[in-house]
Amino acid sequence: MARYKLILAYDGTHFQGFQRQGKGRTVQQELEKVLKQLGWEGSSILSAGRTDTGVHASGQVVAFDFDWGHSSAELASALNAGLPPDLAVKEAVEAGEHFHPRYDAVERSYRYHIYTANQRDPLRERFAWRVAPALSLERLQAAAGLLPGRHDFAAFGNPPRPGGSTTRYIYSAGWRAEGDDLYFEVHGNAFLYHMVRRLVFTMVQVGQERLRLEDFASAINETRPLPPGLAPAQGLVLVGVRYAANRQEAVRIMKTLL
């Protein structure tokens, strides 16, 4: 019996999020179904986190124990042969027996894609949010520049568990432009439920001068409430997860950040 670590990519358009539910198609459900066809007898895979309905991933990480008996590359091939077109295993490796994709993680990276246009573009809108009128990149960057460091992000999301901490540490955050495409990239130790989409929505308000930069700063520094709103799910991608060498190192890093 070995513990395997998979890196998954998926188009979240037709998934009701990552986590298995009573109703609706999910990433976990599809992966576990194919695993069982290969002889896996586990009850539930472990994951680095749960993505929302419609959110995509290029670097989701999962783990499970499996008496496979073949190479990791053959496991990836066997899974991909059975998985639907909108879900794929990018990599499969054997991990340490105590590896946990959530608790050993020290950094998660997300990217959000916006394009500014007056007319719809169906080829882009599957994976991006169309915003009009155009945004001020300078104002977007000014808002993103307030994010790095340790902050209470209660104004931007909810903790995974009721009563949990809303403090998170952001390593870096910023916007870049490519023509009329805008990309927000953020790296942090962890994120609250809906946090990235809420941040993007409010920064767009700042970029369109519908929200003062001072009010955005107050939400970060003083947890002052902001007008409600979320950026659409289809623009968000979980890009990747970075890990400590072991659980002890992960705990040590998290303690220094929080």
What is the distance between the alpha carbons of residues 67 and 173, in angstroms, rounded to a whole number? Answer: 41
**What mean pLDDT do residues 194-211 have?**
97
For residue 204, the model assigns a pLDDT of 98
CATH code: domain of residue 247: 3.30.70.660
0.85 surpassed by pTM = yes
**For residues 38 and 68, what is the distance between their CA atoms, to the nearest angstrom?**
8
Same domain, 181 and 204: yes
Q: Is pLDDT above 90 for 254?
A: no
According to the model, what pLDDT value does residue 95 have? 95
- Expressed as residue numbers, the domain containing 141 is 106-257
Cis before 133? omega within 30: yes
Catalytic residue among 52, 65, 104, 181: 52
Average pLDDT over residues 42-52: 95
Least confident of 99-108, 221-230, 245-254: 245-254
Last residue of a domain, one of 95, 129, 146: 95
What is the structure's pLDDT at 25? 96
Domain-located, residue 81: yes
pLDDT of residue 161: 84
pLDDT in tens, 126-180: 999 999 988 999 999 999 999 999 999 999 999 988 889 999 999 999 999 999 9
Task: Give the model's pLDDT for residue 71.
Answer: 97
Average pLDDT over residues 33-47: 96
Supply the pLDDT for residue 258. 65
Does 252 score more than 90 pLDDT?
no
How far apart CA 4 and CA 73 sit, in angstroms, is: 11
The predicted pLDDT at position 256 comes to 73
Last residue of a domain, one of 95, 126, 153: 95
What angle is formed at CA 74 by the lines to CA 8 and CA 106, rounded to 5 degrees? 35
Annotated catalytic residue 67: no
**What are 52-78's pLDDT values in tens digits?**
999 999 999 999 999 999 999 999 999
Domains held by the chain: number: 2
pLDDT at 23 over 90: no
State whether 72 and 198 are in the same domain: no
Residue 257 pLDDT grade (very low, low, confident, very high; cuts 50, 70, 90): low
Are residues 159 and 89 part of one domain? Answer: no
Decide: 187 and 59 in contact? Cβ < 8 Å.
Answer: no
Q: What is the CATH number of the domain that holds 34?
A: 3.30.70.580
pLDDT grade for 206, boundaries at 50, 70 and 90: very high
Domain shared by 129 and 248, yes or no: yes
